[in-house]
């Protein structure tokens, strides 16, 4: 009887310990294959919310960071000062069986000014210019196939400045930049308003894409 009681206590402790362990956020083995998409559209604080709004449609995760340059482990201060070749960007992990890359492009186009050659909205410099970094040949094909369709929806016309580039290493930004719009909503909305982002987006596209 004592042995059985002791065994039961040990098993109970093992079950409790297992339940207390943090659960992995990685997809389980055998789950659908995921893809990543990388978009640059000016301030990455403002590019994360519209893709986060798609998390109930197939977007799994978003991370803001830097890509396109040559410097390893770039910092926000270095990138924002210019000269590293990196652009502020957002990396989107998604399930292609639930949401297509074309849908991500639709959201992307409607959240940038594709006619701005100097940057985006109030931010000037190469680090803020718009670009799509394709991670697969199929993403490149879909971009090229749909570009004219999306640009035909613009209410203004001009020379397209958004570049299509092969993906390079993506460097996540510092933790305080991740989901900045949630951590610092007052500062985020003040910046977005002062930068004139929504006013210009409405002028270019005639509407605003819903985001968080």
Would you give per-residue pLDDT tens digits along the chain (212 residues)?
A: 433 433 333 333 333 333 333 333 344 333 469 999 999 999 999 999 999 999 999 999 999 999 999 999 999 999 999 989 999 999 999 999 999 999 999 999 999 999 999 999 999 999 999 999 999 999 999 999 999 999 999 999 999 999 999 999 999 999 999 999 999 999 999 999 999 999 999 999 998 765 55
Q: Is 15 inside any structural domain? A: no
pLDDT computed for residue 8 by the predictor: 38
Q: Classify residue 92 by its DSSP letter.
A: E
Task: Quote the CA–CA distance of 159 and 146 in Å, as a whole number.
Answer: 17
Could you tell me the strand order of the sheet in which 171-172 lies? Answer: 163-166, 131-134, 35-40, 87-94, 59-67, 171-172
Task: Quote the CA–CA distance of 177 and 75 in Å, as a whole number.
Answer: 11
Q: Is 20 inside any structural domain? A: no
- pTM to 2 decimals? 0.83
pLDDT computed for residue 207 by the predictor: 80
Q: Which range of residues forms the domain containing residue 79?
A: 33-205
Catalytic annotation, residues:
43
CATH code where residue 116 lies: 3.30.1060.10
pLDDT computed for residue 208 by the predictor: 74
Q: State the total domains in the chain.
A: 1
pLDDT computed for residue 21 by the predictor: 35
Q: Is 172 inside any structural domain? A: yes
Q: Are strands 87-94 and 59-67 parallel, antiparallel or unpaired?
A: antiparallel
Q: Is 25 inside any structural domain? A: no
């Amino acid at each position: 009887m004592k042995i059985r009681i002791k065994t039961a206590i040990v098993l109970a402790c093992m079950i409790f310990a297992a339940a207390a362990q943090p659960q992995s956020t990685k997809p389980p083995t055998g789950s659908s294959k995921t893809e990543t998409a990388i978009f640059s559209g000016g301030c990455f604080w403002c590019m994360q919310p519209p893709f986060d709004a798609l998390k109930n449609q197939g977007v799994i995760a978003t991370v803001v960071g830097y890509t396109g340059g040559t410097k390893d482990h770039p910092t926000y201060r270095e990138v924002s000062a210019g000269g590293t070749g990196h652009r502020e960007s957002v990396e989107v992990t998604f399930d292609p069986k639930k949401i297509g890359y074309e849908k991500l492009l639709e959201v992307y186009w409607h959240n940038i000014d594709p006619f701005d050659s100097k940057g985006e909205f109030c931010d000037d410099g190469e680090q803020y210019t718009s670009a799509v970094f394709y991670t697969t040949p199929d993403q490149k094909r879909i971009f090229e196939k749909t570009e004219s369709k999306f640009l035909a929806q613009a209410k203004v016309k001009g020379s397209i400045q958004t570049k299509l580039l092969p993906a390079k290493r993506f460097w996540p930004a510092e933790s305080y930049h991740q989901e900045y719009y949630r951590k610092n909503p007052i500062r985020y909305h003040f910046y977005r308003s002062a930068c004139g982002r929504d006013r210009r987006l409405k002028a270019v596209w005639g509407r605003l894409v819903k985001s968080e």
